[in-house]
Amino acid sequence: MEKIKITLNINDKPYDVRVFPNDTLLEVLRDELDLTGSKESCGEGVCGSCTVHMDGNPVRSCLTLAMEATGTKIKTVEGLATEDDLSDLQQSFIDHGAVQCGFCTPGMLMSADALLNKNSKPDEKTVRKALAGNICRCTGYAKIVEAVAHTGNPQDHCPDCKTGGKTKE
C-alpha cells in the first residue's frame, strides 16, 4: 500500500500529512499529528472516547478514515480552549467535578459541545440522550450531566455553578 498526501483542516489549522488509505482519523490525529487528546478506549465505535467534530457533527474518529476527513472542518478537544481561556463547557466540567480519571473526558466534551452548539439549554434528559454514546467508567455520569446542563445556564441550587475554579466556603 502507498501513502497518500492529504490536507486536513483541524482546529482551524491546515495539516499536510501522508496517510495510508486505511488509516483512521484517530490514528492520524494521535500518531502523525501528535494530537493525543482524542483517546482510544474500544477501537470499535462503542465508547465515544475518540469523538471529534466533523463540520460540527460528532463522529467517532476510530471509525472514520482520515481520507474521509479531507475537505471537512475537524475539531478536536485541543481546539475547545483558546490560547488563554477554557471554554465554558470545559470550565463547567472542572467546577462540577465531572472529571475523574479523565480518559473519557475529551470524547464527552466533544459530544457535549456538539449538543450545546445546537441546543444551548438542554434539559437533563436531552443531555443524557446526547451522551448515551460515551462510556464513562468512573463518574456514574451524574456530574457530567450536571456540568453540561449547567454550562452557560447556571443554577441557583447548584453549589458548583459559581465557583469559577476556586475553593469556596
* Site of interaction with other proteins (CB under 8 A): 30, 34-44, 46-47, 49, 76-78, 80-81, 86, 90, 93-95, 97, 99-106, 109, 127-129, 131-132, 134-145, 159-160, 163, 165, 167-169
Q: Nearer to other proteins by C-beta: 54 or 71?
A: 54
Burial 21-53 (b: 16+ CB within 10 A, else e): eebbbbbbbbeebebebbbbbeeeeebbbbbbb
How many residues touch ligand FES (CB under 6 A)? 23
**Residue 29 has what DSSP assignment?**
I
Helix 88-95 × helix 142-149 angle, to 10°: 140
Which of the choices other proteins, ligand FES, none does residue 167 contact, using the CB cut-off of 5 to 8 A by kind? Answer: other proteins
5-to-9, 18, 53, 164 alpha-carbon distances in Å? 13, 4, 22, 44
Pick out residues in 59-98 that bind ligand FES (CB under 6 A). 60, 62
For residues 26 and 40, the answer to whether their CB atoms sit within 8 Å is yes
Q: How far is the CB of 136 from ligand FES (least distance, A)?
A: 3
Interacting residues toward ligand FES by CB under 6 A: 40-43, 45-50, 60, 62, 99-105, 136-139
